[in-house]
Structure 1
Amino acid sequence: MPVPWFLLSLALGRNPVVLSLERVVGPQDTARCSPGLSCHLWDGDVLCLPGSLVSAPGPVLVPTRLQTELVLRCHEETDCDLCVRVAVHLAVHGYWEDPEDEEKFRRAADPELEEPRNASLQAHIVLSFQAYPTAHCVLLEVQVPAALVQPGQSVGSIVFDCFEAALGAEVQIWSYTQPRYQKELNLTQQLPALPWLNVSADGEDVRLVLDVSEEQRFGLSLYWNQDQGPIKPWWHSNLTGPQTITLNHTDLVPCLCIQVWPLEPDSVRTSICPFREDPRAHRNLWRAARLQLLPSRGWRLDAPCSLPAEATLCWQALDGGPCLPLVPPLPRENVTVNKVLEFPLRKGHPNVCVQVSTWEKLQMQECLWADSLGPLKDDMLLVETRGPQDNGSLCALEPSGCTPLLSRASTRAARLGEQLLQDVQSGQCLQLWDSDLGALWACPMDKYIHQRWALVWLACLLLAAVLFLLLLLKMNPVKGWLRLLKENIRAGGECEQERGGGPPPAGRAWASSRPSRSVLSHSGLPEPRGSAPLLRRR
């Protein structure tokens, strides 16, 4: 990226002498050698594969030391990028075993030469450069005259211009030969960074202290740096230094990054992501994650950052309890946030839910299709397992496990096993999943619930009839008393008639009064008032 002079002064120190960086003009990479050597830079990148160690056939050129230097690659007068120049120092490794081998090696190196002393030693040197998230490898070809080939002696160096890098980046450089005659050299270097931004704690909140000179105008941006897709800006403002900004701890997520740059042309932006290991940021990330329903069988997990999570399907029964993992288990999906995912189901069902977990810990669960397909249903999930000879078996997924339909277990699925098997064969169950290994069926249980309630009502009616009959049996004494009362009233009426027309026959009066005494003596009830005149008359 372009580097203005005042940014380099901030990055490399206040001494103006530091600004005298060498400038490389032109966008092309180049290579040059120390006097006496000849070198060539191969076009294009090469594979960064060192390969295995091999034995040297005699004296060979190998890298012995790496040296780096910061330079500027300028496309125009004010359009410059920071670049890492790499110098590889070379030496001769190995010895001749005998003069005949030396003669063969020299003639093999250049068969057109008649004199062996004019033969040259050739080597292919690989430079590998890594600065997250980029990697770049180049191939350098070097030739050394035979006069300089002295085993164990340095022969010079080759300089490569140059690997572009950003301020504050950590770069790693490797060098080895092809084929590889010895262990590769490596060098790690931390490039200078702009000391503008400092992050500190303020209780539960976070303070961003921007050490910018007075009246210096700069831009500040907060963004979410996602592994997939472009960065997502969150907040941006143009400010005047110095500044102290406070962030709420609830806004912290692991991928929240801060970018600062001066409001001048071709300025370098300094970026840091200081909350990658913050426990609060990881908790906030899961709170901000949302499962979103998409038509049919699609769904998506929206989150500001990438999540190391897996998603599986489970079956949620209407009566509550834990969500039962589907058996046989469907493939576990690695969650890619903000991307549409689809499970291999033929049909959707409101009882099918999605569980998102990380490191075997359940983070969230949603029955995604309940909004479009209605509330949970009292359906029974049947699991069909198919064998190699087309012999299959059916079991019902219950909290105690997968219960075989034709079993003597005391579960609902076992009691209704034959009826459920007939429902599957008659097409009354919904097929959710089908493969060579088996299938999943959702069988409605409504009709069995209606039958159960009908039996309950019938039992209630039978109980009421029995109670009524018992009540009638308990009321026999009451019936006797009422019958006696009726007879006494009738007898009283006859007595009134006899007062006016003469006494009734003696036998008739005795017959009418005798049953009354008998009933009264057995029932234990008080005598009715209507019987008193009859007794007095006697």
Structure 2
Amino acid sequence: MGLAAFPLLLLVQLGCRAAAAEPQIIVRERLTANFVRKDYNETRNILFERKHHGKLQPGLNPPTLSLSTVQLCPPSEECLPCIRAHITWEPVENVKMRGFGIRFLDMNSNRYYAFQIRKRRKTTIQKLWEVQYDCFRTETGHSVSVSLSTIPDYGFNVTQTYYIEEEDAGPEFTYLLFPEERTIQVSVPVGPDVKARLCYQQALVCEELRDHTYQLIHASQSQNATLHYEFLVPCLCIEVYYLQPDSRRRRLCPFQELPEAYGSDFWQSGQFYEVVPSHKDQMVTEFKSLCLVKPAASLCQKHDDITHSPCEDIPNSTALESESVYSIDNVDNNPWICFRFSCGNSSHVECPRTRDTAWSVTAEVQTLQLLLRFTSRIPASFSATTCTPSAHYCDSRSPVYTVRRRDESSPETFHLILPFPALGSCVQVWRSDVLYARKHLICPDFSNRRLGLVALGFLLGILVVISFLLLNYRSIQKIIRAAPLWRRTVLLIYSLDSEEYKFLICAFADFLRSTLGCEVILDLWDVGRVAQIGILPWLYSKRELVKIEKGKVLLLWTKGSRRMYDVWNRRDVHSHFWRDSQDLFSAAMACLHSDLKEEAAQKGRLGDYALVYFEGLCDKQDIPGPLQGIRKYCLLEDLHGLVNELRNTTQPLPCWIRAGAKFLVRRLIKSEKTTGLQVRVDRCRLQL
């Protein structure tokens, strides 16, 4: 049966005890301000060993002494009863009182303690002297003699004997829990009247419930009382005690092991507060629990904006807790990454309340490509890959493409080109420079008229391909037997002159891969590996791969490349071109310099290189002398020669390569705004 099916019943045998009025608890011995304590040693215990008192002063009233019991609870120690001494004295003119002498004698254990209480020097007390000393440790059931005298001795000797009462067992009681009514029924046996209440156990006290009072139980008439609670939580306690003064309270906290006490009431009783993080890649929140319970916290991610939608756990994302503040670093802050708090057998998801994000992405379907447009207010790296969607997951075996905004001076809007996704496939996009990031799923929209056009174009494409295969069967056989084009590996080396030039590099790389079938190696498509091992090891490993697979290293040259080459050649460390030690171009020049030395030693590695430049972005005089021995191609005029170089043949360009070149020209027209290059691109378009 569930918890609500029947009430819980428990007979109380033991409980926590306290005074009828909540006893005052202190954590250390102390004395009222303006007074200091001076302990006696064993040889100078003269205050209470004297046989003659001082002379009584006319008109001088003796000090008053009142004693009470408090609880002394030092840190990490068990609480003990002790005696508080409260002294008052009304000053009299021309009477220079300096303080008091006080003695404690535990008559059960014969333990003795005496000291002086003196007024601090240069302290003026004009009104009533009032001194409170906390406190003399003792035990229940002991009698303590307390004596008080004045300094100097004016003949007064105030003595009291104080008895620490034995702790009574307190009233026995049973309780019934009614979760549906949110009440607890307390029952006591026939006997003296008692009071009962509910409270929340805190560090040293049990706080009374809000808007709830004590319930009086007339045990001679009715032995029951109904107490209402707001939250069923682990620290909810029941207190029952007799009505006489100094009656000990019996306290029971029976819900600490109850699973239902860690349910929805536990989370509703606490408060969540947003905390400003110390840096942009940190998530911070604060949870103030009604009980002294600290839940564990980790990250999870949602896939939609629905309030009660599932939140998928992010592995190995435990948050650190300090004084109820939970924080975790290396997080892409967005409304879909949340904290999951866990305690007992329940959990609670707390998501950021702000809907603002530091970056966004949109997708635009273009001819044979997908353009991702990023907008970011912060320097960060972003990755994307095509995949096949399934519910909220996306199975991907495609390459991962990466783009990044390097610093605050970089443009806020930048692009990433992906191959055209197949119908029904989607693109996963995420921030890749942090450990914990949500993967956004973007599915291109082929609905309405576009879907019919794409389907029609697809069918026409199949017919064209079939016709081409039939007409060029023998030529295709020769190409396959000679050297399969799609096995050629190409490493692209460039100098990053501008964001527009980066777009051109990506378009050219996509042309080599999608149209010519080359295996293209580009650092922009392998940012994760570059960041992991460094640009120089990455470049040398790819250079060896090109050598093994008999591929090509293409140097894409511009006027900016010439300037960077001259700086590299002079090793001018003060130039702004040499600030980045991870610069691809500088590392490639070091690799090329090594190959030039090998060429001089007649080992012949320069045949693996080719230099490519776009007219309008570079002239022949921009190519330095040491690189004149490398085969050069001016695009798009020498595209035919470059393709034949990659294919190891002198045959005319096939029609599908011509078509791919036309698509490349269109991309250049769209991406480049330089006048000189634009004229050359338009002329090459007419030739193609």
Q: TM-score, normalised by structure 1?
A: 0.37
Greater relative contact order (Cα 8 A, min sep 6): structure 1 or 2? 1
Using structure 2 for the length normalisation, give the TM-score: 0.31
